Structure 1
């Protein structure tokens, strides 16, 4: 199975995480198409492909993919959209929300993001499986309070039921072993993160220590391990 991984700087942890894995652990053939920031907003639909409309983004995805300057959907069996402003959602168990309130909240979380816009473009040219990985939850130190991931898991299920299922996509949670306080990522995974390599002087440069939004290679390895298990 060949999978196109499409994303912004967050795919750096996945790409380097896969390099850490043993050959027998890499169960699927992944090709990465990445650009920093919101560069992928320039993707346009041409025939069965997503094609960047600017040279900088084309150069970036060519570097991350090993030479491909467009994403030809005919060449892949499935797609993973990772990062790109996709967000999780949290639903408290002891609170009641009307259906209208939930629908509005879900729309607010999903619509307008680079991830969802890219998903909609893909859906105009392919009916193959599409998976979504949200931005990692912000790095946090484990506190003494509740560690319940129930609100997070219910939120992921709600987003799938009320939004992603309608377009044949599946939102995946980040590994439970990386979560602290029910809504953050354990601090060790937020330390030592690096910029996405796209062929310039900033390739693999360390993010500032105050950046708690990007995750390191260990996080990427764990995320892909669970992704492969889900596919299997």
Structure 2
């Protein structure tokens, strides 16, 4: 089955509590809808925030009544519905990954084998979605503040090729850092998404970009032209931002 991934640069219930457009779009991708009354089963994975209880409460408040909701806490595995992580994840229509530390998320997922479970679920038809760290994690690489200052992270899950940069317009250091990392080849080419913008991939290919606000943008960030010789003898390839067409959901 074709793997479907919705990578959100920012937005959703935690950042735009009064604007449900991105979350509504995520729910619309759940074509199977195996929950009670035809509602989609949606599991929130807050690993990147240290399984913040406040974050989980925000999720439940936003999605209850629109979906059959659950949360997966790796810090409280005894509370996993049914007691079996794999079985629970495979039963979901959507897995929604929250923001926080991408590096910590990846380490804990691998420790518990959740990375492979998510890959299996995606191949079986579960939609993978996420914001910020929940965007970064699906790519091969990303720019992250997991280590303090903005830095490259090159050991993502690799369900999507290339690199990712969320919050492209939302945090002043994101754009210049990402352009520098791609331009100096410390990160491979990839995609950047503003807050309120999401990238929909199917089978590893970008299908479309959607937004919860009219001005939100997305870009393909990549090398262009030949490497240039600069005064110190180092190579400085050109880096380009190619706009991606974005569909406003309003």
TM-score normalised by length of structure 1: 0.35
Higher strand fraction (1 or 2)? 2
- Larger relative contact order (C-alpha < 8 A, sep ≥ 6)? 1
Higher helix fraction (1 or 2)? 1
